[in-house]
Amino acid sequence: MSDNGSWHSPSGNSAGTPSDANRAQGHDPEHPESDAADGHQPPPQYGQYAPPQYGQYGAAPPPQYGQYAPPQYAGQPPQYGPQQPFGAPNAWAPPPKPGLIPLRPLSFGALLTAPFKELRHNPKTTVGSALIIQGVTVVLTIIITGVITALMLTRINQASAQDQDEIVSGAVLTILLSMIVPILVSIVGSAFLQGVVVTDTARATLGEKLRMREVWKATWPRFWTLLGWTALYLVSILVAMGVVGGIGALIIVQGGAGLVIGILFIVFGSLAIIALGVWIFTKLAIVPSVIVMEHATLKNAISRSWRLTSGSFWKTFGVIFLIAAILNIASQIITTPLSLVFGIVPGLLDPTGSDAAATLAFLAIAEVVLLLITVVMGSIMSVVQSGALALIYIDLRMRREGLDIELTRFVEARQVGDASVPDPFAPRGLQ
């Protein structure tokens, strides 16, 4: 209301109103498009964000709901220029990508599951090597034992009546001796396969996946030491059994009360040997891993395995026992029903036995199928059990020697191209 009593609207054209001030500065609130044409920005409406003018540092827009607003530091100018490239020598490296296992000491459950991951990690190298070795053993067994058995049976049939008993005895002895060759081949193959799986498991821990030729080449220099350990292990078992059996037999032949004493000695002596053998086997379970990964001699590998497993007997024994139980149960679940089916089907197909040729053909096919399944299951079991022993070795070194730190340092250095960090599984002097 003015002095003369007349009332003026707030948006009127009287002097001193905001509209007059805006027009004086070149702004027309009724025609904002003219302001934009003149290079002037209209004032922001309520709830809208006003962009900064040219040459001014405007405040960042408020963050939306659920977004993180980076902190602003007063007086800090914006940084320009290229960032340091990823992988530079002094750049930060991300945590190493896990390989077969996380690079830290493993729990009991991780030790149980990790060996089965080895089957999926590099099956061409591990399972393929096992199938080759198992296949060679089976073929040699069939050829050598089959040919010698056929020759001996032919000789028995051609022998005269008075010489037949002696020829039968010689034939049985010859067949038994012929089975030694496949057994030796199996022992040699098992020793080499154990080294192959240990080598592949060690490299898989670092996230590497080697081909079969590379793994075989890396394992071959340690083959003879592995074979020596396998032979020593088997000979020790045979000697222990021979000692108990021999002493028991000597007591039994005395007659009288010696019969009962000898039998009891053999029974309890065998149980004692089993208990002692389990204890020694658990203490020396990682000898092949030490031989392969550290290039240790047989003597040093035995002493080192004994030291590393000290204080970890039950954990080591538990992992070995449970994995063996799982594998054997799985094998029985697969093979037992097939054996029952193959035994029942011939009687159902030919109950009268009139078609002997068809029955024999079916039985031959069934035996081949069972043999193939046995070879595959044996290969899988060998890979998992050898992988478990290698992982136990790695876990023990992580806990006692800080191997996890060396593994992490090596993987991080490899990611940034630093070749100065030594391979944690490279041959080195025993500590």
Residue 9: its pLDDT value, please?
Answer: 45
> For all residues of the chain together, what is the average pLDDT?
78
Percent of the chain with pLDDT over 90: 33
Confidence check: pLDDT of 8 > 50:
no
Percent of the chain with pLDDT over 70: 74
Closest by Cα among 399, 384, 9, 331 to 197: 384
Q: Which residue did the predictor score with more confidence, 59 or 266?
A: 266
Work out the pLDDT band at 121, boundaries 50, 70, 90: confident
Work out the pLDDT band at 353, boundaries 50, 70, 90: low
Q: Which residue did the predictor score with more confidence, 150 or 27?
A: 150
Work out the pLDDT band at 3, boundaries 50, 70, 90: very low
Confidence check: pLDDT of 31 > 70:
no
What's the mean pLDDT in 16-38? 48
Work out the pLDDT band at 220, boundaries 50, 70, 90: very high
What's the mean pLDDT in 399-410? 90
Residue 12: its pLDDT value, please?
Answer: 44
Residue 141: its pLDDT value, please?
Answer: 83
Residue 126: its pLDDT value, please?
Answer: 92
The Cα 198–Cα 200 span in angstroms is 6
Residue 326: its pLDDT value, please?
Answer: 93
Q: Which residue did the predictor score with more confidence, 426 or 299?
A: 299
Q: What is the pLDDT of residues 40-96, one digit of tens each?
A: 555 555 555 555 555 454 445 555 554 544 555 444 444 444 444 444 445 555 445
Q: Which residue did the predictor score with more confidence, 352 or 125?
A: 125
Q: Mark 291-300 as b/e (b = at least 16 C-beta within 10 Å).
A: bbbbbbebeb
Residue 324: its pLDDT value, please?
Answer: 92
Q: Is this prediction's pTM over 0.75? A: no
Dig out the tokens for 128 from the structure: 């393929």
What's the mean pLDDT in 178-188? 83
Candidate from 193-207, 249-263, 416-430 with smallest mean pLDDT = 416-430
What's the mean pLDDT in 189-217? 91
Q: Which residue did the predictor score with more confidence, 217 or 356?
A: 217
